[in-house]
Copies of this chain bind each other. A is one copy, B any other.
Amino acid sequence: MRLGIIGLGTVGEGVLEILSTEENNFKNKGIDLEVLYACDINLDRGFSFEFDKSILTKDFNDILNDEKVDTVVELIGGETIAKHIIVEAIKKGKNVITANKALLAKHAKEIFSLAKEKQVNIFYEASVGGGIPIISPLQESLIANNILGIRGIINGTANYILSEMKEKNLDFDTVLKDAMKKGYAEADPTYDIEGIDTAHKICVLASLAFNSYIDFDKVIISGISKIDSIDIQIAEKLGYNIKLIASAKYLGEKLAVEVAPTLLSNKELLANVDNVFNAIEVESDYAGTSLFYGRGAGKDATASAVVADIVKASKESPFRERYYFNLEDEADLINENQLIGTYYLRIETSDFKEEIRDLSFKVFEEDKYTILITNKIKRADLMAYLENKNYTLLNVN
């Protein structure tokens, strides 16, 4: 197997480091691979590990055009150049390994159709949950099962912020600034805090779990930026932790795919997944409840997942369509107005309407706010009272 790695950012450098440092280890395990190219636009820098510098190139076309390269590892991210590279690699009959959840969530049709036509493999274990094996369990270990539901904490930045807000009793903005300083949040943190990255990832997981095409535009998304430390304290008093939960489950005939900050009973394992850690819980008909926990991001953990895919690709030369998303059967997704659930609502007491009380089993005042935990209701019935009001609405699981 002859590789070209494109993108030497955090993860790409991690992959090159593992492949260089563990070369003998891999040979002993009977794994035969060679990195022919490592490509990045920024090569004027040092590397903290030893490798043959002659593999470095600034031009990804060196990799795409070299017939000796049979597998392209795309670690640039984003939907522009990364997409071009993946599409061209597939056209040239090269297998693709990627961590690019945005691309998989939004351009699955184009990529997998082309891959099928060209009979190449696409591997993407690193796209969700960093170092946590979750793609391969869904594709293989749980194959006997019909998946009933999936819930996860799959964005390390959001989970770090919520954990710090609780642990240190700080407000959202303070923690976000601190997270940016520490490198746990990006300069533009929108994707992480507004649930977009989480939505990309649940789209990948739900596609596999429910073996159907999930239209990313129909995923229901809300982020954590409206959560105040008062919400976290109230939740704690009631025996809950607040987590940004991605979920996919059937509500009647339709599938609900949703990202929402959620109150989880602190007795649940998932509620106790803190800081940058991720966890994904899968409910299936034979295996029952399974949970996969680990480092959801970071150089080494994500690189570990990419390398697992590289090894898999090296062993699995035959074309395996079973690793694709199913594009033929589109899932019938619920929209926001059809959602049914239990909700936590915080609203200024001056804005509170008595009618909402009838929808709730717990209503109390705290400071200038009225807080409600609703019965199981249609979300739309609640929203009817909230038009033009200032409120914070969270799921309760």
Q: Which of B144, B211, B277 contacts A303 (CB 8 A)?
A: B144
The residues of B that contact A25 with a CB separation of less than 8 Å are: 146
A143 interface residue per 8 A CB criterion: yes
A15-46, CB < 8 A from B: 18, 22, 25, 29-31
Q: Which of B22, B31, B267, B308 contacts A141 (CB 8 A)?
A: B308
A280-309, CB < 8 A from B: 284-295, 298, 300-301, 303-305, 307-308
> How many residues on the A side are at the interface (Cβ–Cβ under 8 A)?
53
Q: Given A30-B322, A141-B125, A308-B143, are A288 and B294 neighbors across the interface (CB < 8 Å)?
A: yes
Q: Given A286-B303, A295-B289, are A133 and B137 neighbors across the interface (CB < 8 Å)?
A: yes
The residues of B that contact A311 with a CB separation of less than 8 Å are: 140, 143-144
Q: Is the interface of A mostly helix, strand, loop or mixed?
A: mixed
A186 interface residue per 8 A CB criterion: no
Residue of A18, A125, A140, A289 contacting most chain B CB atoms (<10 Å): A140
CB distance from A291 to the nearest CB of B (A): 4
Contact flags A356-383 to B (C-beta < 8 A → 1, else 0): 0000000000000000000000000000
A145 interface residue per 8 A CB criterion: yes
A288 and B300 form a contact (CB under 8 A): yes
Q: Given A140-B312, A269-B269, A293-B269, are A18 and B307 neighbors across the interface (CB < 8 Å)?
A: no
A132 interface residue per 8 A CB criterion: yes
A136 interface residue per 8 A CB criterion: yes
A7 interface residue per 8 A CB criterion: no
A29 and B143 form a contact (CB under 8 A): yes
CB distance from A278 to the nearest CB of B (A): 10
Residue of B nearest to A287 (CB): B131
A287 and B269 form a contact (CB under 8 A): no
The residues of B that contact A291 with a CB separation of less than 8 Å are: 279, 291-294
CB distance from A226 to the nearest CB of B (A): 29
The residues of B that contact A293 with a CB separation of less than 8 Å are: 269, 289-293
A142 interface residue per 8 A CB criterion: yes
A272 interface residue per 8 A CB criterion: yes
Contact flags A244-282 to B (C-beta < 8 A → 1, else 0): 000000000000000000000001010011000101000
A59 interface residue per 8 A CB criterion: no
A126-171, CB < 8 A from B: 131-133, 136-137, 140-146
Residue of B nearest to A135 (CB): B141
A62 interface residue per 8 A CB criterion: no
A321 interface residue per 8 A CB criterion: yes
Q: Which of B140, B305, B308, B312 contacts A308 (CB 8 A)?
A: B140
The residues of B that contact A30 with a CB separation of less than 8 Å are: 321-322
The residues of B that contact A294 with a CB separation of less than 8 Å are: 287-291
* Cα-based distance from A53 to B308 in the complex (angstroms): 42
* Cα-based distance from A286 to B132 in the complex (angstroms): 11
Beyond the given pairs A25-B146, A277-B289, 10 more chain A to chain B contacts, judged by CB atoms under 8 angstroms and listed by A's residue number, are A29-B211, A131-B290, A133-B137, A143-B307, A144-B307, A145-B304, A286-B300, A288-B294, A291-B292, A291-B294
Q: Which residues of A contact B (CB under 8 A)?
A: 14, 18, 22, 25, 29-31, 125, 131-133, 136-137, 140-146, 211, 267, 269, 272-273, 277, 279, 284-295, 298, 300-301, 303-305, 307-308, 311-312, 315, 320-322
